[in-house]
Structure 1
Amino acid sequence: MMRSTKSPFELKPKYPDFKKVEATRPAFDPSLPIVYTQTPDPRWEYGKGAISSPQACSSLESSHVEIDPYGSDRAMIDNYRLLVSGIPRPISFVSTLSKDGTPNLAPFSYFQLVDHDPPTFVIGFSARASRPKDTQKNLIETGECVINVVSDHFVEAANATSLDVESSISEWGLSGLKSLPSATVRAGRLKDSIFSIEGKLLEMKDLDYHGHAKQGKPVGSLAVIQGTRFWVRSDAINDHQDEIDLSVMRPVVQLGGIQYSRVRETFELPRPSLATELAREGSNLANFMKK
């Protein structure tokens, strides 16, 4: 799984010999195209609800299980496993420099874009009983980073940077990935990444809402970062420089356990406009607006 093995979440391996299991699977095919399909129900109408499918039928017949994340018999690792298996996440591959100039490179799946004006991103750092992650320490000390989006052509190299090496050892060399100069920060950007974002730290927020620090317990943190420069590979950006080609970028998403997914099939679904939908021939929206 793409995470530092220095994490307090020490998980048992899913397979005794993963390479042996992997050898029985089909080879990865980087030439597979991005396929655009119809939406699940192109004839969907207002008020119809979920489509008729095995998943939908099952949801009607089955009840839900209530889970208290703070239950006395529930370990935090159980919440971790549940959340990462239920929420697909983009991966940020963060480059930083320490105060003395040592480069660091590390992947994070607690990551998201939260606004575009100004471009604002968040990276979550899980609570750790041991020393803070080098990325977090570097962000606090220098206030700078580069967020590189992970694509499938360098996912193994990105995963290698999760090794629990000392902070004096650079993950750039371990991975074999190449660094290029940035424009607004000292940390290097990833040459192999289709899309990179230079950023400045706005705030490092401790997530200590229940007094864990006073109890001697580890506390998670949230970094709020403002994007200061974008870098997009020339063959992936359109002429207007406002859209990245998915077939070139081929981003990787982290799922539960050691599972990842690449975007191979997609559909388009325009966001509805009230005026347009009311004027659309055959729309039944007006029936609901009268109620």
Structure 2
Amino acid sequence: MSHHPPFKQVEGSRPEFDTNQQWTTTKTPAPEWQVGSGSNGLESLAGVKEGLWDGKQPEGRFTEVDPANEAAPKLYKMLISAITPRPIGFISTVNAKGETNLAPFSYFAAVGHDPLVVMVSFTHPNGDDMKGTCENILTTKEFSANIISEPFVEAANYTSIDAPKGTSEWPLSGLTPVPSKTIKPARVGESGFSMECVLEHSYDLKNDKGVRTGTMVLGRVQLVHARSDLIDRETLLVDTAKLMPVSRLGGITYARTTQMYELPRPVFDKEKERDEVKALLAKA
């Protein structure tokens, strides 16, 4: 039995979703940061004044976690609450019978651009069974990966329901299946960025007991569908502000992307000529 109040009761106490919040670009936290100076020391950031971000290692500051000594559910909670924010792969598949499936996965990432490859990883309920999406990909060798945005996040979240295999989440979500051009699984019509993928490689993950607990899948992108107002046709840059992507944090928490700052990459051939850089390199 849950010790927490009903979710709708908790949600009711929170401020309304701010649709007027504008995409903004700010300065970096410390624009005057100097090479070799470590953390920026901005005391208005939580914990900086208390020295929590100074790199020192006093007794008790860190908790060591040995995965071999912890239960898998606890490790899962730790991982998804620490490695954040995570992009969400909204994966559309079809099984061997032609039955459709649609579900979100936050073990999802871009892997490479030449060839264009994305990764999605699945945890399994036990060593003998696997989630429908993973099973479908391994069987049919195809999937559609779609980016989730704020205008349809509730519908996307509903597809995470623990429906039995063979039950399509598409009608439950109310989202629009649009036929793909190179694969059988449909793409999500509401998504501003979708990729038609074929299976490039898969790799089973096994725990210390040798039990298969997950499968990582690499998908080679055959075709991209980017809404024309979101992408610059010449540079192929996608406008994040217009895409309004949703990311995952820990538990049932999602995050918005509404603010950014820019940090140019230093160029070694230029930086090495600076006196302060020369001095730091000489100490190395």
TM-score normalised per structure 1: 0.88
Structure 2 distance, partners of 1:35, 1:13, is: 39
Alpha-carbon offset, residue 23 of structure 1: 1.0
Match of 1:262 in 2: 256
Identity %: 37
Cα distance change on mapping 1:14 and 1:221 into 2, 3 Å = farther
- Aligned-partner residue type, residue 140 of structure 1: L
* Residue of structure 2 in register with 1:65 after alignment: 63
Contact persistence 1:45–1:284 (CA under 8 A): no
**Residue matched to 2:102:** 105
- The residue identity in structure 2 corresponding to 1:23 is G
Runs of 4+ aligned structure 1 residues displaced above 4 Å come to: none
Q: Within 5 A, what are the aligned runs for 1:243-254?
A: 243-254=237-248
Deviation at 1:100, TM superposition (A): 1.3
Q: CA deviation at 1:255?
A: 0.6
Select 2:113's aligned residue among 94, 116, 128: 116
Counterpart pick for 2:92 among 92, 95, 98? 95
Structure 1 counterpart of 2:279: 287
Alignment partner of 1:85 is 2:77? no
Q: Report SS of the residue matched to 1:132.
A: coil
Point out where structure 1 has 5 or more consecutive residues left out of the alignment.
Answer: 1-11
Q: Pick closer, same or farther for the CA change 1:85–1:209 going to 2, 3 Å.
A: closer
- Distance in 2 separating the partners of 1:69 and 1:36: 39
Q: CA deviation at 1:241?
A: 4.5
Equivalent positions of 1:1-291 (< 5 A) are 15-52=4-41, 53=43, 54-56=46-48, 57-59=51-53, 60=56, 63-71=61-69, 74-88=70-84, 89-129=86-126, 131-208=129-206, 210-213=208-211, 218-278=212-272, 284-291=276-283
Number of matched residues? 272
**Alpha-carbon RMSD:** 1.9
Deviations 1:37-93 (A, max 9, x none): 11111111111000113434224466211111111xx21111011111101111000
Q: Which residue of 2 aligns with 1:9?
A: none
Structure 2, unaligned stretches of length 5 or more?
Answer: none
* Whole-angstrom distance in 1 between the partners of 2:38 and 2:225: 41
Cα drift, residue 259 of structure 1: 1.2
Which structure is higher in RCO with an 8 Å CA cutoff and minimum separation 6? Answer: 1
Cα pair distance change 1:67/1:25, threshold 3 Å: same
SS of 2:199 mapped into structure 1: strand
Deviation of 1:94 (Å): 0.1
Q: Matched residue of 1:27: which SS? A: coil
> For the structure 1 residues 93 and 14, does the alpha-carbon distance in structure 2 shift closer, same or farther, using more than 3 Å as the test?
farther
DSSP 3-state at the match of 2:200: strand
Distance 1:46 1:259 in 2: 36
Question: For the structure 1 residues 207 and 196, does the alpha-carbon distance in structure 2 shift closer, same or farther, using more than 3 Å as the test?
Answer: same
Distance, in Å, in 2 between the alignment partners of 1:238 and 1:112 is 22
SS of structure 1 residue aligned to 2:135: helix
Aligned partners of 1:201 and 1:226 also within 8 Å? yes
Task: Confirm or deny: 8 A CA contact 1:96 1:145 kept in the other structure.
Answer: yes
For normalisation by structure 2, the TM-score amounts to: 0.90
1:189 is matched by which residue type in structure 2? Answer: R
Per the TM alignment, residue 209 of structure 1 is displaced from its structure 2 partner at its CA by 6.0
Give the Cα–Cα distance (whole angstroms) in 2 for the partners of residues 201 and 262 of structure 1: 30
1:211 Cα deviation after fit: 4.6
- Residue aligned with 1:196, SS: strand
Tell me how far apart the structure 2 counterparts of residues 40 and 114 of structure 1 sit (CA, whole Å): 29
Q: How far apart are the structure 2 equivalents of 1:189 and 1:178?
A: 8
